[in-house]
Structure 1
Amino acid sequence: MLPLLSLALCSTASAAVLNTRSASTVAIDVDTSTRYQVVDGWGCSQAFQRAEDVLGKYGLSATNQSYVLDLLFSVEKGAGFTILRNGIGSSNTSTSNLMNTIEPVSPGSPDSTPNYVWDNYNSGQFPLAQAAKARGAPYIYADAWSAPGFMKTNGDDANGGHLCGVSNATCSTGDWKQAYADYLVQYWKFYQDAGVPVTHMGFLNEPSFEANYASMLSNGTQAAEFIRVLGATIEREGIDVQLTCCDDYGWTDQEALMAGLQEVGPDGKSAEDYLSVITGHGYASAPTFPLSTTKRSWQTEWGDLAGGFTPYTFWNNSGPGEGLTWASHIQVAFAQANVSAFLYWIGAENSTTNSGLINLIGDEVIPSKRFWSFAQFSKFVRPGARRIAATSSDGDLTVTAFENENGAIALQVLNNATTDQDIKVKINGGPAKSFVPYITNNQHDLDAMPSLLQNGNGHIQATVPAKSLVSFVQ
């Protein structure tokens, strides 16, 4: 047996629980021949000025700036996040949570020549994107919360409103769909020319939610009308970027948009034909089912925005910010919703809330248990991996498994029970494999344990402590 139990004991109180073992061994089967979706990875955003938190706005030293960036984006030194989600700004200032637009002044009409502005800073997001790319992050996802206010029915980049020119959104200034498409393409060009390619681009964020900050409303049909314009513009310009839509407030909200995106237009194509990824959030409804699409799907924003400050808690009472809660969210999203990527709202911020994975307090860096739960997946499951079949004979032990492009397997076993669980893992095919277990729970943060070798029957035997996440990594 792998001696995880002794390493997990930390106090008399916990020992009383952890010394109660399960009555029988749990069988876990991994089938490498049954393959599901391709994985793009895990990630976060530093939008709404949070990039500046990492860049030292509130006193984070240069040493700890590098440390935080390593934690987030270095696969050798940290979680190895592969996706950074940038906010495409729509405001004339970057005060408070606002993000600067690249077109601060209206040209007067949609057909007039725009005056674009680029400061090589982008509310702190550009230098942070440079740092993420330097650490190996392959995907920069640029997403707009809103078009500039002068392109919208309400004349404001905040408080909802619609893009002028889509169905049922007429403006006295005219149809701004093409101008908005040109605006997004120009944002891409600024990053491209500066050496940080934007790989994915979206033009909406939570279009069913009228927020008092940057926001823009849209239904599926309206989104489809703009996608056709943006898609044609990208093709004409020869831009190498993957389009996404629509980052709605909940998974069910995003599903409601799919019919509009799939309507066939005059050119015989649907808006979905122009898209590479369908994106949704987990706030209003969690990703628990596959979206109605053949495209890849990403869960691009979710977080605990209301919970207390619980950075050190993997499990206490199944609270919304606990590490076990987020480990479960990730497993469900990949196994039941077939997502290819899973992003938390903010990676690191100067805050004593749970809205970030890493808390920065002055020059103090506090990685939360949520962060380590993400790292149990992202560090070992790399872009291009495939989810493979994995089943457990006990409902208290939930499992996911992935096979990387190099053939290496990563199996995540989440013990939701209050008892230790003896497990026997069977992995089909191939010669005997050696695995290193990594554990996160209340006492451990992605700590490596002694390696294991499959026996002659292809089995691995181990003990997974109560309320723990263990990744078995080849």
Structure 2
Amino acid sequence: MIASSCEEAKDNSKAKLKVEVVETSRSGNQLTEIKIFSQSEAQTKVTLNPQKTFQTFTGFGGAFTESSAYLLNQLSPENRKKIIDAYFAETGARYSLMRTHMNSCDFSLSQYSYAPVEGDTNLEHFSVEEDKSDLIPMIKDAMKASNEGFKLFASPWTAPPWMKTNNEWVGGKLKPEYYDTWALFFSKYVDAYKAEGIDLWGFTVENEPHGNGNNWESMHYTPKEMTEFVRDYLGPKLEQDGKGDLVILGYDQNRAGIKEWVDVMYKNEANAKYFDGIAVHWYESTYKIFAEDLQYAHNKAPDKYLIETEACIDAQVPVWQEDDWYWRKEATDWGWDWASEDQKYLHPKYRPVYRYARDIIGCMNNMVDGWVDWNMVLDRQGGPNWFKNWCVAPVIVDPDQDEVYFTPLYYTMAHFSKYVRPGAKRIDFESTDKELQVTAATNPDGHHVVIVFNPSEEEKIFNLQLGEATKTISISPQAIQTIKIIN
């Protein structure tokens, strides 16, 4: 998926950095290798300081949903393989951190539970049969395509309705008398997936515990309730069943609420014992990073995970085979329609590529160690899903015509997932151009990687400096570059 360019231009610097550069741009580059740079003099500088390090990255990736898996099964074997390889193969985006849903979610074809029999407190009828036609085959094909493998965590949207206070798929809380049954549910899920050849890395306790406006599957917790469930039921149950090494991430909703949750989750050693970290979404605003909140969460527990577990261009029917739309200031997010005037600034009309690029960079620079997209594949309507909650995915397909469209969002994600590998450490840098958005990391193999996003409508030329060595680099207008230093 990487195109090649021309011969490398001459660089008269005395100490030259040797780099490999790929770029995705509004002008048409798609992870295109850039070897010739502008000969104009650099006006700004990006200086790397790899001696100062920050968090270790867990990975980047997306979510296995029933909707995506179902669509793959509607395509020809060739196109199915093309998409799987594009995400997981060495030649593709090399996704390394993945999510899936336990029971159904809004991006399922219908509502279902692995434990549908009311009163089955020992879960004798527990079964993941619903996942065997679409979801499990997609995960297993991804495992085969991935050389290095990936970490997979699962999130429940809701317990079965019979375990809940309102006996409904949407809303309500888990009845206290079923806390132990619900903990057993997690353990049985691990065993069921292991029997299918899939090992879990961990869980989030609940997708969006504040609820989602009574729309699709949900179940509510307060910070205190979730902490008690993990501390007294889920953590001990997994430990008792020999699954104590599984990661448990709390919260799993918007960043604006994170302070309240970490204050309770990490209040004392007993509360924090089974929590391995916290998960967040971007829907409070797909424009504002909430840097202070992220820093606060990290500082509460510097040794624990802080992972962005869901993001997408939502409330939007995908635009088909028109790359430029993804660079234009037309898309909104779900809050645009309902936000009060004083909150509109959190939900502006903003370019989809920009949303992804600036959010991932902003998260990386504020101690987030993993970033996970939502659906990997959707159709031209932005589904299928039972709730008709249309969204955009990096890959859009037309199963009737057996056609596949890799949107610019796919290439944007790959700038991070392909080049910043699990175990990489973020490193310090200084940029003198305030318009450029920059982040940098050192991979486990020792190579430094710099990601630069240029949202401006003019070419930018900067000197990249590491120690005494420099390289003059130009980045196209409205473009994102990944720069790998290879000497």
Name the counterpart of 2:284: 284
Which amino acid letter does the alignment assign opposite residue 326 of structure 1? Y
Q: Does the 8 Å contact 2:55/2:426 carry over to 1?
A: yes
Do residues 360 (structure 1) and 362 (structure 2) align?
no
The answer to whether the 8 Å contact 1:107/1:115 transfers is: no
Do residues 138 (structure 1) and 150 (structure 2) align?
A: yes
TM-score, normalised on structure 2?
0.79
Aligned to 1:322: 352
Residue 114 of structure 2 is matched in structure 1 by 102
Aligned partner of 2:413 in structure 1 is 374
Q: Work out whether 1:269 is the aligned partner of 2:277.
A: no
1:217 and 1:9 map into 2 onto residues whose CA distance is 42
> How far off is 1:141 after superposition?
1.1
Equivalent pair of 2:317/2:392 in contact (CA under 8 Å): no
Q: Quick one: distance in 1 between partners of 2:425 and 2:26?
A: 35
Change (3 A) 1:321 1:301: farther
2:187 corresponds, among 185, 188, 198, to: 185
Residue segments in structure 2 that go unaligned for 5+ positions in a row: 1-7, 11-20, 29-37, 332-349, 383-390
- Please give the secondary structure, in 2, of the residue aligned with 1:208: coil
The 1:95–1:403 alpha-carbon spacing in structure 2 relative to 1, beyond 3 Å, is: closer
Q: Are the counterparts in 2 of residues 145 and 203 from structure 1 also a CA contact under 8 Å?
A: no
Contact 1:103 1:117 survives alignment (8 Å): yes
The one-letter code of the counterpart of 1:377 is F
SS in 1 for 2:162: helix
2:262 maps to amino acid? M
1:82 aligns with 2:84: no
Return the offset for 1:460: 0.9
SS in 1 for 2:377: strand
Superposed CA deviations along residues 330-367 of structure 1, whole A, max 9, x for unmatched, are 1011112x111111111111234452111011211111
Give the RMSD, CA atoms, in angstroms.
Answer: 2.8
Match of 1:223 in 2: 226
Secondary structure of 1:49's aligned partner: helix
Distance 2:86 2:452 in 1: 23
Alignment counterpart, residue 65 of structure 2, candidates 47, 67, 74: 47
Deviation at 1:427, TM superposition (A): 1.4
2:65–2:107 Cα contact (<8 Å) kept:
no
Corresponding residue of 1:413: 452
1:29, distance to aligned residue in structure 2 (A): 0.6
Sort the Cα spacing of 1:98 and 1:245 in 2 relative to 1 into closer, same or farther, 3 A. Answer: farther
- Partner of 1:114 in structure 2? 124
* CA deviations over 1:305-349 (Å, ceiling 9, x no partner): 13453451352337445323311111011112x111111111111
CA pair 225-123 structure 1, distance change in 2 beyond 3 A? farther
Please state whether the residue corresponding to 1:176 is helix, strand or coil. Answer: helix
| 1:458 to partner: Cα distance | 0.5
Task: Letter of the 1:293 partner, please give it.
Answer: A
* Structure of higher RCO (CA pairs closer than 8 Å, 6+ residues apart): 2
What stretches of structure 1 of length at least 5 have no aligned partner? 12-19, 166-174, 429-456
Instruction: Give the AA of the match of 2:274.
Output: Y
Contact 1:89 1:98 in 2 (8 A): no
What is the rounded CA distance, in whole Å, between the counterparts of 1:306 and 1:274 in structure 2? 35
Matched with 1:467 is 478
1:351 matched to 2:369: no
Match of 1:35 in 2: 53
Identical-pair percentage? 22
Change (3 A) 1:227 1:394: same
Deviations 1:255-307 (A, max 9, x none): 3222221244xxx511x321223101000145432224331111011111134
State yes or no: 1:162 paired with 2:173.
yes
- Residue-pair matches, total: 414
Counterparts in 2 of 1:246-265, with a 5 A limit?
246-248=251-253, 250-264=254-268
Q: Deviations over 1:82-108 (max 9, x none)?
A: 1221100059xx996335422111235
Q: Distance in 1 between matches of 2:236 and 2:56?
A: 27
The match for 2:364 is 334
* Structure 1 residues 284 and 97, CA gap change in structure 2 (3 angstroms): farther
Out of 147, 158, 165, the position equivalent to 1:153 is 165
The structure 2 residue matched to 1:309, chosen from 313, 318, 342, is 318
User: SS of the residue aligned with 1:234?
Assistant: helix
Once the two structures are TM-superposed, the CA of residue 21 in structure 1 deviates from its matched residue by: 11
Whole-angstrom CA distance in 2 between matches of 1:149 and 1:10: 50
Q: CA deviation at 1:253?
A: 2.0
Counterparts of 1:9 and 1:148, CA distance in 2: 46
Residues 277, 131 of structure 1: CA spacing in aligned structure 2 closer, same or farther, 3 A cutoff? farther
Residue in structure 1 matched with residue 5 of structure 2 by the alignment: none
Deviation at 1:113, TM superposition (A): 5.5
Q: Which has the higher helix share?
A: 2
Query: For each residue in 1:213-233, what CA deviation from the matched residue of structure 2 results, as whole angstroms up to 9, or x when unmatched?
Result: 210011100000110110001
In 2: Cα distance, 1:2 partner to 1:21 partner: 9
Which of 321-330 and 310-319 deviates more? 310-319
Q: Does 1:242 align with 2:247?
A: yes
Do the aligned residues in 2 keep the contact of 1:315 with 1:324 (CA within 8 Å)? yes
Aligned to 2:462: 423
Helix, strand or coil for the counterpart of 1:269? helix
Task: Give distance in 2, aligned partners of 1:9 and 1:219.
Answer: 43
Tell me, yes or no, if the aligned pair for 1:385 and 1:404 is still in contact at 8 Å.
yes
**Post-superposition shift, 1:195?**
1.6
Instruction: Name the amino acid aligned to 1:233.
Output: K
AA aligned to 2:354 is L
Give me the whole-angstrom Cα distance separating, in 2, the residues matched to 1:86 and 1:8.
31
Q: Secondary structure at the match of 1:365?
A: strand
Residues 244 and 9 (structure 1), Cα distance of their counterparts in 2 relative to 1, 3 Å cut: closer
Contact 1:244 1:278 in 2 (8 A): yes
Q: 1: distance between equivalents of 2:110 and 2:262?
A: 30
Q: CA deviation at 1:50?
A: 2.4
- Map of 2:86 onto structure 1: 71
- Deviation of the 1:119 alpha carbon: 2.1
**Alignment CA distance shift 1:252-1:71 (3 Å):** same
1:448 aligned residue: none
Shift of residue 9 of structure 1? 10
Using structure 1 for the length normalisation, give the TM-score. 0.81
